[in-house]
Structure 1
């Protein structure tokens, strides 16, 4: 990827999952943790089941899943909290840049893509199932495939709502 990155360290890591058994294992394991989180939130059982089933279906039916991760091993190391936080934020931003590049490239090829952040809630589960290196921190997951239907464009805020002109 030619995405910009802090210090050009390219802290992004990718795991491409096409194997149906691995996708099913991911869906099953992640859904158990998702269900527990929703129960803690006090959602009604029928709503929990609906959300869990939807999540499982998306994971197991996606033609391709790309797990995007962060590896801090080549980023700068600081002793003070302020710069540690800034360095980590720069690495996260770098990974997000790479992720956006993937989605744009997929779109240019006619693929549909959905970015989900669920790996942030279950990083150890993702690492274990995919046998990722310990230094890889799962940040997100993309579901990629050729869409059956082109969805309507979601409404976006106007530039006037989100921009300060000086």
Structure 2
């Protein structure tokens, strides 16, 4: 991840590698509580909420390692106007995304299974509280990591012509 390109070479990423079983459980349960509260607001029936909660917690629990990817603006440029500052944040988010892709590729090359989840975006304060993350550092993603029990099939992908154009938007390659 550290070799990923980043805006201004600021490397605005921070990673928390969680291996402690009780801490993983505390984090997952706290995140699930927030998700259930959100599902209540969304009108999801009780039984469906509990099934989704259970499935989610189990999915994460079976991974021996969780990596919480965080974003810091500490070394990014500061601008007086809101529009440029928002763009600077976008640069930082893109940089973190590049680092995460590198992490996923490196894991795959070593035979590890890894999966990127964006759940921390929906419960930043909870993740900050449980993992003692400073207020100025934002949890952005959670990566599950471990040796897979079986080799999963690659997910399907849209055909290239559905998203790549030549010279102008909509012009087929």
Class of the TM-score when normalised by the shorter of the 2 chains: over 0.9
Ranges in structure 2 where 5+ consecutive residues have no aligned partner: 168-173
Structure 1 gap segments, 5+ residues each: none
2:28 match: 27
Is 1:112 matched up with 2:107?
Answer: no
3-state SS in 2 of match to 1:122:
helix
3-state SS, counterpart of residue 77 of structure 1:
coil
Deviation, structure 1 residue 112: 0.5
Q: 3-state SS of the aligned residue for 2:51?
A: helix
Provide the aligned C-alpha RMSD in A.
Answer: 0.9
Q: How far has the Cα of 1:62 moved from its partner? A: 1.2
What are the superposed Cα offsets for residues 80-129 of structure 1, whole Å, 9 maximum, x if unpaired? 11101100000000011101110000000000011000000111111111
For residue 164 of structure 1, report the CA deviation from its aligned partner.
0.8
| Paired residues for 1:6-155 under 5 Å | 6-155=7-156
TM-score (norm 1): 0.97
Cα distance in structure 2, aligned partners of 1:61 and 1:21: 13
Describe the SS at the equivalent of 1:74: coil
